[in-house]
Amino acid sequence: MVSTGIFLLAFAVASSALENGLMRTPPMGWMAWERFRCNVDCENDPKNCISEGLFMDMADRLAEDGWMELGYDHVMIDDCWTSMQRDKDGRLQADPHRFPGGIAKLAHYVHQRRLKLGIYADFGTHTCGGYPGTTLDKIETDAQTFANWKVDYLKFDGCYSSAKEQEKGYPAMSKALNATGRRIGYSCSWPAYQGGLPPNINYTFLGEICNLWRNYDDIEDSWKSVLSIVDWFFGNQDQLQPMAGPGHWNDPDMLIIGNFGLSPDQSRSQMALWAIMAAPLIMSNDLRTLTSEARDILQNKAIIAINQDVLGIQGRRLLQEKSRIEVYWRPLARSTSALVFFSRRSDMPYRYQTSLARFNYPAGLYDVYDVFTGTWMTLPSHDTPFTVSINPSGVVMWYVAPATLQEATGEAGRYPNVRHKYRISSLKHHQPEGERHFFL
């Protein structure tokens, strides 16, 4: 259990340590770990080993296949990238055979494509994969090394360190990153090593020092793993949901869509539920061989817009029905919202009848957009009954806008308003000058 005294001391010392202004919406991108793990056999598996070639390939795919324009702008190295020894000056160094150009060269390659480079380190004697770790006396050195390489994001793991050591190490790295003068996004694995919940974790403090944090177990390439994560996050939503927001996010781990363990319906479910959670959308798959079906799910503009909503409010589970249908809700900007109807059934599609009134929507006319079918419907009243057909382990996801939004704006309210540098238009609507919207 975390010592309250030590936590308060750390808070007093480092409460203003993270001043990077980054990740006002959940980060998006690609990470190596779940798909490629610690494969370092470049002699026999050169296309899939942890090497500069792999990350250059993924940077090319993000830049050339439409990912970057949608917000997937991070290329993230995970474990097993370093040499087995630090250099003569005590600095981390990339494996010279697998990264012959070094990390600085890779960062330049990524930046040329208008992307950002993320890197991995571990607070402990060794990384989880057995490579050199970052002990307390190496934190400032490693932070400056990453800044010198022009890295944009750090995932800081916690293998081979104790709870007491982590109380010092994670705030110290936050302060060290800030001191470099380079804005580096900071992902902390600290909560996952301490049970993920108060009182072991002070999330108010964590939000002061980290941009995002892993709370729970690593995801595996299986539906069972996805369900375990969903159950834990929504089972503890009263404690976790208030802690998320612009600049500081709960991280349920990577999107495994496009790998081997999920059906198409399960893939849509992961995407929808991660969007409801305001989770980072960090893929771990092989972008070179992705099926068109997986790509369509991951590049769904409406779901991305919901995920990236400027309010940054994490959604909640509203209902668990005896029929094994669950309902999830997330409030969005401009008095709009997202609803997910999720089936835990394993037998057949289920016809679920309900109304918006049951979810405490106020009286009024509503426009509803089904984000997977691309179809609109209008509900004449909040208490108008409707039926959705949900596949086993699948979802129906709606974007819901009050029709009064049309009267106020003349824009029918048919899109989530998101902070996003890229503008995606539709044939149906005119985009007001100066506004930044994803149109559905």
Question: Residues 250, 280: contact at Cβ < 8 Å?
Answer: no
Contact between residue 145 and residue 166 where contact means Cβ atoms under 8 Å apart: no
Tens-digit pLDDT profile for residues 249-302: 999 999 999 999 999 999 999 999 999 999 999 999 999 999 999 999 999 999
Q: Within a domain: residue 430?
A: no
Residues 227 and 288 in one domain: yes
Q: Say how far apart CA 177 and CA 186 lie, in whole Å.
A: 8
- Same domain for 64 and 201? yes
One domain, residues 394 and 275: no
What's the CA gap between 15 and 79, in Å, rounded? 28
Domain that holds residue 364: 316-409
In a domain, 419, yes or no: no
**Spatial separation of the C-alpha atoms in residues 270 and 294, rounded to whole Å:** 12
The answer as to whether 431 is a domain residue is no
Within a domain: residue 68?
Answer: yes
Same domain membership, residue 332 and residue 225: no
Q: Establish if 222 belongs to a structural domain.
A: yes
Residue 370 domain-assigned (yes or no):
yes
Percent of the chain with pLDDT over 70: 88
- pLDDT tens per residue, range 167-181: 999 999 999 999 999
Split at pLDDT 50, 70, 90, the class of 404 is confident
Can you read off the two tokens belonging to residue 193? 């090593």
| Residues 373 and 267 placed together within one structural domain of the fold | no
Question: Do 163 and 117 have their domain in common?
Answer: yes
Q: Name the domain count of the chain.
A: 2
Query: Domain holding 195: CATH number?
Result: 3.20.20.70
**Whether residue 4 has pLDDT greater than 70:** no
Last residue of a domain, one of 282, 307, 332: 307
- Whether 82 and 224 share a structural domain: yes
Say if 439 falls within a structural domain: no
**Judgement on whether residues 257 and 373 belong to the same structural domain of the protein:** no
**Residue 320's CATH number:** 2.60.40.1180
Mean predicted confidence (pLDDT) in 429-438: 31
> Among residues 255, 289, 307, which one ends one of the domains?
307
pLDDT score for 73: 99
Let me know whether 298 and 387 are in one domain. Answer: no
Domain boundary among the residues 307, 334, 353 is at 307
Q: Quick check: 352 and 390 in contact, CB under 8 A?
A: yes
Strand 366-370 and strand 395-402: the pairing is antiparallel
Sign, Cα dihedral of 4, 173, 134, 127: positive
Same domain, 249 and 387: no
| pLDDT at 309 (0 to 100) | 99
Band of residue 434 on the pLDDT scale cut at 50, 70, 90: very low
Report the catalytic residues.
157, 218
In a domain, 427, yes or no: no
**Does residue 220 surpass a pLDDT of 60?**
yes
Q: Are residues 239 and 347 in the same domain?
A: no
341 and 362 both lie in a single domain: yes
pLDDT at site 405: 58
